[in-house]
Amino acid sequence: MYDKESLSKLSEHKQNWEKNVLNKVLNKKPERKEKFFTGSNIEINGVYTGLDIQELDYSKDLGFPGEYPYTRGVYPTMYRGRLWTMRQYAGFGTAEESNKRYKYLLSQGQTGLSVAFDLPTQIGYDSDHPLSRGEVGKVGVAIDSLKDMEILFEGIPLDKVSTSMTINAPAAILLAMYIAIAEKQGITPDKLSGTIQNDILKEYIARGTYIFPPEQSMRLITDIFEFCSEHMPKWNTISISGYHIREAGATAVQEVAFTLANGIAYVEAAIKAGLSVDDFAPRLSFFFNAHNDLFEEVAKFRAARRLWAKIMKERFKAQDPKSMMLRFHTQTAGSTLTAQQPDNNIVRVTIQALAAVLGGTQSLHTNSRDEALALPSEDSVRIALRTQQIIAHESGVADTIDPLAGSYYVEFLTNTIEQKAKEYIDKIETLGGAPKAIEKGYIQQEIQNSAYSYQMEVEQGKRIVVGVNKFKIEEDPPKGLLKVDPSVGKLQEEKIKQLKATRDNLQVSKALQELKKCAETDKNLMPPIIKCVRAYCTLGEICDALRAVFGEYKAPINL
């Protein structure tokens, strides 16, 4: 810590340095007209000193890795003890096709699976539903029943891999299917490790793949918390997602603020449902985006960890250190990928992946170069995975813990992002919390404003996107893109038809009726959902049973 005299000298030295450098760079001009800002509109100085950290008075919170407030990482040894999980997000077409892709990725050194589901699955419709036409298997794998899940994970020992499933509104059903196929492999739920996204609030904010009204959706989430706290101690019950918030146009500061505000809402809902904070909080996880601004992204992760630790300790009085740890998965930014000069995306993804690693992520997905054009090809996926492996084994950045700690610039950004994110969270609290802020449209409007500002900067040339608004070339149409077989919808329809002809439909009817009755009470819904899954009820049938009791959410139309 600096005394007043040292601070005064440091400030004077900094001012003289800036004046001398600027005079040299700008041909003796007294002032520099151009200013620099991060994507979150944080102004960047020409040079940073300890004074910049001292002014924000957060330096005392730096601490050590694995210690509260976890600014420098949630584990004492971080990657010196164990590398992050390399988890490539994959799924397309039928379960058979996706199973082949998973086995290929595992053979190439991937250390965890990450399942992408198609749009009908995400919104609780079977592949033979009229609204599913044209969408089956397009943006992920089609899963209509336990039969499909059995095929999807055929030959993959579920006690040996960690599986992440990006599913929200019907998360309880997909988790039940995962439990059921593990049972068929002779594996009990307590041996399973992985994550379901299960974050419905960001669906109302940014994505739109909701089914039920917010209150009923929150009930499903807290039921999962309760069930897993008793039966699945290794399972992450929610991945509170800033990724989609950022993809919708939020800044780094907004990503942290809105994600943690949603996290607060989930914790409050669980406590209200009668759960003790330390019974479920250790299995909360987060999902963040990694963008191009290397140092801002590193600082964002560090700030999020510190802010969440303080929220859990000071606001919710958590006692278990694991309840205070913000563990997170990172995906590189799909919104930054360009259809123009797609090989440039390899460079973008490398920078973003490096930011995630320097920021202390627990697992990482790297996007493929051709994702602005199509689902990733096998070659592109391999390059994306190799990017992680080269960072891990050749760059040296994993050899020491939190290698950028102590950088005046990084610490300044970390402090500033935490401060600005907290201001947002405080504002959301005055509106009644995240659900109320979403209902009032506040969070959505803030994201829209940021997205608009960014797009205007690109269109006006104030923000350079290489290959898009500068350094353009004439290009031939891309070759070798992956195309989903248009017959996949018909294949899935035939599977459903065959399933319904061969299953015990009396047992199906009883299981669905039991689920409806349970939904009308306050009993935990996971046991009857698992019973439905075991009876080979389809995803759509289970969701329809819940729709009959809960109703469906219709977004308000604001003209």
Per-residue pLDDT tens for 518-535?
999 999 999 999 999 999
Q: Is pLDDT above 50 for 559?
A: no
Task: Tell me the mean pLDDT in the region 304-328.
Answer: 98
For 474, list phi and psi in degrees, rounded to 5: -80, 135
pLDDT by residue (tens digit) across 170-227? 999 999 999 999 999 999 999 999 999 999 999 999 999 999 999 999 999 999 999 9
CA distance 168 to 197: 6
In the predicted structure, residue 555 carries a pLDDT above the cut 90 = no
For residues 237 and 60, which has the higher predicted lDDT (pLDDT)?
237
Q: What is the pLDDT of residue 383?
A: 97
pLDDT attached to residue 280: 95
User: Do 380 and 368 form a contact (C-beta atoms < 8 A)?
Assistant: yes
Residue 293 has a pLDDT of 97
Average pLDDT over residues 311-320: 98
Q: Provide the percentage of residues in the chain whose pLDDT is more than 70.
A: 92
Kindly indicate the confidence band of residue 63, based on its pLDDT and cuts at 50, 70 and 90: confident
Q: Distance between terminal CA atoms of the chain?
A: 54
Q: What is the pLDDT of residue 444?
A: 95
Instruction: Give the mean model confidence (pLDDT) for residues 46-54.
Output: 81
Average pLDDT of span 43-58: 78
The CATH H-level superfamily of 60-459 is Methylmalonyl-CoA mutase (3.20.20.240)
| Predicted pLDDT at 274 | 94
Report the alpha-carbon distance of residue 392 to residue 386 in Å, rounded: 10
pLDDT above 90 (res 279): yes
pLDDT in tens, 423-471: 999 999 999 999 999 999 999 999 999 999 999 999 999 999 999 999 9
Identify the burial level of 427 via C-beta atoms within 10 angstroms of its C-beta, where 0-12 means exposed, 13-18 middle and 19 or more buried: middle
User: In which band, very low, low, confident or very high, does the pLDDT at 481 lie, cut at 50, 70 and 90?
Assistant: confident
pLDDT band per the 50, 70, 90 thresholds, residue 267: very high
Closest by CA to 128, choosing from 483, 476, 491, is 491
Q: Is residue 121 within 8 Å of residue 167, measured between CB atoms? A: yes
* Cβ atoms of 302 and 414 closer than 8 Å: yes
Residues 357, 359, 361, 364, Cα dihedral to 10°: -40
**174 touches 124 (CB < 8 A):** no
pTM for the model:
0.90
- For the segment 24-42, the average pLDDT, to the nearest whole number, is 71
> Given this model, what pLDDT does residue 19 score?
64
Structural domain spans, the chain: 60-459, 492-550
pLDDT of residue 90: 83
List the one residue out of 203, 93, 281 whose CA is nearest residue 438.
203
Query: How crowded is residue 134: how many other Cβ atoms within 10 Å of its Cβ?
Result: 10
| Stretch 327-332: mean pLDDT | 97
8 A C-beta contact, residue 318 and residue 278: yes
Instruction: Give 44's pLDDT tier (boundaries 50, 70, 90).
Output: very high
Are the C-beta atoms of 551 and 124 separated by less than 8 Å?
A: no
Task: Answer whether 524's CB lies under 8 Å from 223's CB.
Answer: yes
Dist CA 213 CA 543 (whole Å):
13
Percent of the chain past pLDDT 90, that is, above it, reads: 84
* For residues 116-121, average pLDDT: 96
> What is the C-alpha to C-alpha distance for residues 287 and 241, in angstroms, rounded to an integer?
5
Which structure tokens are listed for 251?
Answer: 């800044």
Length of the chain measured in residues: 559
Q: Are 135 and 492 in contact (CB under 8 A)?
A: no
> If you average pLDDT over every residue of the chain, what do you get?
93
Residue 25 scores a pLDDT above 90: no
- CA–CA distance, 199 with 462 (Å, rounded to integer): 35
pLDDT digits (tens, 9 = 90+) for 377-391: 989 999 999 999 999
